[in-house]
Amino acid sequence: MSGVPFGAVLDSVREGSFWMPPDASVTTQFVDPVFYYILGLTTFFFVAIVAVGAYFAIRYRKRSDADRTHPSAGSHTLEAVLAIIPSILMATIFWVGFRGYINLSVPPPDALEIRTVGQKWFWTFEYPNGMVMNTSVENAKLREEAGLETGLVVPIGQPVKLIGHSRDVLHSMFVPAFRIKKDVMPNRYTSIWFEATKTGTYDFFCTEYCGKDHSRMITKVIVKEQADYDAWLEEETKNSAKPKSGSELFAQGGCTACHSLAGVAGAGPALNGLFGRDEALADGTSVKADENYIRESIVNPTAKVVNGYAPVMPPFAGTFSDEELDTLVNYIKNQK
Amino acid sequence: MMLDTPETPENAEDAPAEEHGDHGHHADEPSYLVYGKEKGFASFLKSWLITVDHKRIGIMYLISVLLFFAVAGFTAIYFRWELMTAAPDVMSGDTYNKAFTLHGGIMVFLVIIPLTPAALGNFVLPLMLGAKDVAFPKLNLASLYVYWAGAALLVYAVLGGGFDTGWTFYTPYSTTAQGPITWALLGAFTLGFSSIFTGLNFIVTIHKMRAPGMGFFRMPLMLWALYATALTQLLATPVLAITLLLVAMERIMGIGIFNPDLGGDPVLMQHFFWFYSHPAVYIMILPAFGIISELVAVHSRKRIFGYGAIALSSVSIALIGFLVWGHHMFVSGQSELSGVVFSFLTFFVAVPTAIKIFSWTGTMWGGSVRFNTPMLYTLSFLFLFLIGGLTGLFLSTMATDVHLHDTYFVVAHFHYVMASGAVISFLGGLHHWWPKMFGTMYNETLGKIGAIIIFLGFNLTFFPQFVAGSRGMPRRYHEYVSEFEGMQYMSSIGSFVLAFGLVFVLCYLLHALFKGKPAPDNPWGGVTLEWETATPPIEHNFHHTPVCVRGPYDFPEIDESLGNGHH
Ligand SMILES: [Cu+2]
Ligand SMILES: [Cu+2]
């Protein structure tokens, strides 16, 4: 608690400007000038109105001997002027904001398309060549131990379009340094685009509240030179072709967010000792937990919901290949 | 030249004779606070609980609302403490999510919406109209009981484990998450009826029960504001009710309306929700406009600048407010075209709001401004609301909203608008009408100190949040990247100052309630009808129906012979 010096305020605005985070994409040009235009106008009006108000309040304070013989209780001309001038200025604000928004909405035709999947509580990026980058906290930890970077890796100077989709509730893709944001939904695709202008690492946040670990649903955008990017992609593609172990898949799927393997119930039941047990279901029936049941629980969890739990597990159909599902089922089966 | 204005209880006795007209001051008749007392405590309590007296209902609303305000405030302090550092240390993520949901839910549904209309409004509206009561006194009492019922449901949901959907109840999270969410939905649904009852009552009362001589354009602006508020309550609340009911039905019966798994559409829920909740912003802010109009005129001893403009802009804000809900959804996946239309329409609300700010400022011009507690709150409101309104432009502009949506910038913006709007103006109004409500005076020096502490605490709490937000910090984050620590730390310190200020005000007001000097009938020299009755008023407000013989801001010291006043 203690020890946050107010100097931290200054530290925190070191990067970027006072108001804005670092500027690392061509898309910032659709937002920042508009922001500063509005900031200029509003600051001017703020200062003017406060000054006039303060002047009136002090000049006409009760004990002053100001001239009060011609007080005004309204003037239609003055009122009209004070309505028309802001209206015109607001029309200009609307217009620049509209133009910026349209530019933010229309990606260049040659954009690199990366599918972005949000689910409780991590992001997955699917590259056009089929390589999948999973950014769950557990997976990121495993990768870090292996010396690998985790995040959305993109080449500099290349327009990128993120096609967003959710596996469960609403989430939102947000990259402050690029000034882009869009909600992702389970029932339709949405998209945003950017073209990075500086190499470096930038925050990628979820900005639509999505439950328990909403504030941990964050990752990084890592911008590389084209050659570095190509090398990275080749390496990652090769890695992802290697079969993964059960624990890797369990981490990658973000299963640990809801399931413990040590007997502690979380958002979902603990999975150790599951195999072979008679599982009571929410509809009153029960089922023997065999391989088929475990597999179905992963691919289509709402088919049989465990008694005492809400049907909040996202379906993982399509996330794992057949071999991977086998490995995963086997892994769970062996958790005693 | 201006006459010296009555300010202290002593010289208030010299106020013009009409102020003491034959309406009040019948020593034989007990005030509304005490009648029924002689029959013993139990029957006195009962006489309050089954009263149909708008004043007693207003006071009971006041107590209930302040109680919930305290709960929501303590919750906020609790999570501001957590947010002082980037790492999670004070509470778990789950608790944090429940805490901010509790804060938002209580503040919106149980505090700000009823705060001024149901608590202060109930007390002053019939008095200002020169009426004996509202049009439907029993409906008025019913609205209070419905409020308690709704509150009980929400409390039940909180005690039953709490819920973490945010006050916005966005689907499909709210239809799939665990917890007593259905109870919370039913609570908010029930509270809607309380709001509708009050709105309906006020509309009919204003139409039918104005004192003889009081045309619509002789009404105090507080009444115009309450009228516009009531219209919005009546027209918008049913949409919220049906939305919450649909969410509840989806939860209970699995009917697919908003959840895509069942064939529904989550964006539809957002449309429904904001169709109510944007106008709800005006339910919260229009009463504030009313209070400020009264306070700035009375304490500047001046006719309000642009009466017609203020009166009509309230109504036009209420109406245009129905057409702008989509500005909450620029990045939610609604079509670009809808976004453009909603952005465009939103700027139309900004214009009447700007006009009001100019009018209030202009009212001080050539007046005789008293720097007392109500006036300090008025000036504080003008400053804070100006910031809130101007920062709204960043959010109604599409390009900047893409960056700022769902960040702390939005959090700061709506606290500047709603907390300053509703709470600061309410505090101003409470100090202004306090003598009339309770018949005692509070300590003026302490009042001013309290207003200043609250002003400073408020800015320290919320201004840093603008910077955190525009630099990219998302809202509803329990832990966060460390670069925002400085801003969040400042904000937390500010919230402690703000809380201290509020407790300070509570203390001296409680002291005034029991030990305060008796208040004169008209301590501020107001010329609206509520000042013509006894202090505190008698059960039926007036002995004889008062007659409205002048405009609401024709103060005696305004010297007509100099030709000022009308344009
Ligand atoms: Cu989220
Ligand atoms: Cu709105």
Domain identity same for A116 and A238: yes
Contact (CB<8Å) A82/B369: no
Q: What is the pTM of this model?
A: 0.88
Residue B400 and residue A31: Cβ atoms within 8 Å?
yes
> Does one domain contain both A220 and A171?
yes
Q: Which of A268, A269, A289, A285 is nearest to A277 (CA)?
A: A289
Contact, A212 vs A256, CB < 8 A? no
- Beta carbons of B470 and A20 less than 8 angstroms apart: yes
**Ligand approaching nearest to the C-alpha of A183:** 1
- Regarding whether A116 and A235 lie in a shared domain, the answer is yes
* Range in B20-24, B106-110, B149-153, B173-177 with the lowest mean pLDDT: B20-24
C-alpha B312: how far from its chain's center? 20
For the domain made up of B40-564, give the CATH fold. Cytochrome C Oxidase; Chain A (1.20.210)
Task: Determine the residue among A209, A210, A305 to mutate to test chain B binding: the one whose Cβ has the most chain B Cβ atoms within 10 Å.
Answer: A209
Query: Of A242, A271, A299, which residue constitutes the final position of a domain?
Result: A242
- How far is residue B452's CA from residue B509's CA, in Å, rounded to a whole number? 16
Q: Is-cis flag, bond preceding B536, omega within 30?
A: yes
Residue of B nearest to A186 (CA): B260
Total domain count for chain A? Answer: 3
Are the beta carbons of B296 and B371 closer than 8 angstroms?
A: no
How is residue B560 written in tokens?
């007509």
Residues of A in contact with B172 (CB under 8 A): 168-170, 186
Same domain, A176 and A95: no
pLDDT of the residue at B442: 96
What's chain A's average pLDDT?
88
Helices B266-300 and B336-363 cross at an angle (nearest 10°) of 10
Same domain, A197 and A139: yes
Chosen domain end from A206, A227, A242: A242
Q: Which helix (H) or strand (E) holds A104?
A: helix A76-105
Judge contact between B491 and B465, C-beta under 8 A: yes
Q: List the CATH number of the domain containing A271.
A: 1.10.760.10
Domain that holds residue A33: 6-60+74-105
Query: Does residue A96 sit in the same domain as residue A116?
Result: no
On chain B, the residues whose CB falls within 8 A of the CB of A306 are none
Q: What is the DSSP string of B200-240?
A: HHHHHHHHH-PPTT--GGGS-HHHHHHHHHHHHHHHHHHHH
pLDDT of residue B21: 42
Q: Which of B261, B278, B279, B258 is nearest to B269 (CA)?
A: B258
- A242 burial (CB, 10 Å; 0-12 / 13-18 / 19+) is exposed
Sheet of strand A152-155, all strands in order from the earlier edge strand to the far edge: A152-155, A219-224, A200-206, A171-175, A180-184
In chain B, residues with a C-beta closer than 8 Å to the C-beta of A190 are 333
Kindly report the nearest CA distance between residue B483 and chain A, in angstroms: 5
Two tokens at A101? 């928004």
Residues of A in contact with B477 (CB under 8 A): 214-215
With CA atoms as reference, report the closest residue to B75 among B49, B109, B98: B98
Q: Give residue-wise pLDDT tens across range A95-141.
A: 999 999 999 999 999 999 999 999 988 999 999 988 889 898 888 88
Identify the pLDDT of residue B565: 41
Q: Give the closest of B350, B382, B558 to A53, CB-based.
A: B382
Residues A125 and A178 in one domain: yes
CA gap A64, A59 in Å, rounded: 7
Of how many residues is chain A composed?
Answer: 336
Q: Which residues of B touch A19 (CB under 8 A)?
A: 467, 470-471
Cα distance from A272 to chain B (closest Cα, Å)? 23
pLDDT value, residue A92: 95
Query: Do A261 and A191 share a domain, yes or no?
Result: no
Interface size A-B, in CB pairs within 8 Å, comes to: 309
Neighbours of B453 (CB within 10 A): 18
Cβ-defined contact of A94 to B303 (cutoff 8 Å): no
Question: What confidence score (pLDDT) does residue B27 get?
Answer: 53
Find, in chain B, the residue whose alpha carbon is nearest to that of A214.
B477
Same domain? For A179 and A232 the reply is yes
* Distant-in-sequence, close-in-space partners of A109: CB < 8 Å, separation ≥ 6: none
Q: Do B386 and A46 touch (CB under 8 A)?
A: yes
Q: If pLDDT is split at 50, 70 and 90, which confidence band does B17 have?
A: very low
Q: Which ligand is nearest to the CA of A120?
A: 1
Nearest to A139 by CA among A330, A319, A292: A319
Question: A289 in a domain, yes or no?
Answer: yes
Contacts of A176 in chain B (CB under 8 A): 403, 471-472
Q: How far is the CA of B243 from the centre of ligand 1 (A)?
A: 23
* Chain B nearest-CA residue for A71: B366
Sheet holding A190-195, edge to edge: A132-134, A122-126, A112-119, A159-166, A190-195
ipTM score for this prediction: 0.89
Euclidean distance between CA atoms B219 and B406, whole angstroms: 40
Mark the residues whose beta carbon lies below 5 A from ion ligand 1: A 171, 206, 210, 214, 217
**Given a cut of 70, is residue B405 above it in pLDDT?**
yes
Are the Cβ atoms of B476 and A213 closer than 8 angstroms? no
**Residue among B505, B507, B501, B499 nearest B430 (CA):** B505
pLDDT at B452: 97
Model pLDDT, residue A322: 84
pLDDT at A197: 95
Structure tokens at B33: 């606070």
CB contact under 8 A, A206 and B474: yes
Confidence of residue A39 (pLDDT cuts 50, 70, 90): very high
> Considering the domain boundaries, does residue A164 fall inside one?
yes
- A69 pLDDT band (50/70/90 cuts)? low
B486 to A6: CB separation less than 8 angstroms, yes or no: yes
SS3 for A119? Answer: strand
Which residues in chain B are contacts of A70 at CB distance < 8 A? 366, 562, 564
Residues A223 and A254 in one domain: no
Q: Are A133 and A193 within one domain?
A: yes
Are A121 and A223 contained in the same domain?
yes
CA distance B109 to B280: 10
Which-ligand-closest: CA of A209? Answer: 1
Q: Given this model, what pLDDT does residue A28 score? A: 95
Task: Retrieve residue A279's tokens.
Answer: 């599982």
Beta bridge partners of A206: A173
Residue B462, pLDDT above cutoff 50? yes
User: How far away, in angstroms, is B283 Cα from ligand 2 center?
Assistant: 12
Q: Quick check: is A118 in a domain?
A: yes
CB A219 within 8 A of CB A119: no
If you measure from the C-alpha of residue B125 to the centroid of ligand 1, how many angstroms do you get, rounded to a whole number? 44
CB-based contacts of A127-132 (< 8 A; 24+ apart in sequence): A127/A233, A127/A237, A129/A233, A129/A237, A130/A237, A131/A233, A131/A236, A131/A237, A131/A240, A132/A240
- Domain residue ranges in chain B: 40-564
**Domain CATH code at residue A195:** 2.60.40.420
